[in-house]
Chains A and B, each alone.
Chain A
Amino acid sequence: AQSVSQHNHHVILSEAASLELGCNYSYGGTVNLFWYVQYPGQHLQLLLKYFSGDPLVKGIKGFEAEFIKSKFSFNLRKPSVQWSDTAEYFCAVKSSGGYQKVTFGIGTKLQVIP
């Protein structure tokens, strides 16, 4: 069975600091990868996705992620965070089959201090 591991459960950064959130998955076949963001009291919104092609994926709000197949990783990055980036971030992986096969990580809470 596939699984997703998010290494940092709670991250605190000052504004303008760089961000990298780790995500590793365990599945040997072809995968699709997602990062979702959940702002306080809100629903999940898609930040970015990887299906195929360029392993460096750019998403909304200046976020990007790099798929490194050899490391089974899909880390999320942002060069300079803002207070408005305070949210919970979820990595998700879909193996072969439909979206019902998506597995979510437990999430990383990011707190940005002004």
Chain B
Amino acid sequence: DAGITQSPRHKVTETGTPVTLRCHQTENHRYMYWYRQDPGHGLRLIHYSYGVKDTDKGEVSDGYSVSRSKTEDFLLTLESATSSQTSVYFCAISESRDTEAFFGQGTRLTVV
């Protein structure tokens, strides 16, 4: 398995609180992605990064921000969590823009 670690693996938080999820990789891959997985929707891209300090929005970016200050770390922040952000969040990495992505173990986030 690719060296991808997501933390935390599970989190319960209250509506309106900020939440940060961390993705750490040991593969030195340039591209990193954050997805959310919801029943009936498959995986949807939230944000992605193509290098240190280089990020862009995905399909469902509203309410989320990201940062990448080091190659190995990609942070996803929910500035003010809402119940609609209850989901399983997956980080993925790819070596180049044209190669397949490898996924982390996921973070199950519940917003109550």
Contact = CB atoms under 8 A, between A and B. Distances in A.
B105 A97 contact: no
Given A98-B50, A100-B48, A43 B106 contact: yes
Contacts of A34: 100
A104 B90 contact: no
Contact of A104 (B31, B42, B105, B106): B42
A43 B100 contact: no
A49 B43 CA distance: 17
Chain A binding site: helix, strand, loop or mixed by DSSP?
strand
Contacts of B98: 32, 98-99
Interface residues of B, number: 25
B91 to A, nearest CB: 9
Interface residues of A, number: 20
B41 to A, nearest CB: 6
Contact of A44 (B44, B48, B99, B103): B103
A43 B33 contact: no
Contacts of B41: 106
A104 to B, nearest CB: 4
Interface of A: 4, 32, 34, 36, 42-46, 49, 90, 97-100, 102, 104-107
A90 B58 CA distance: 19
A95 to B, nearest CB: 12
Contacts of A104: 42-44
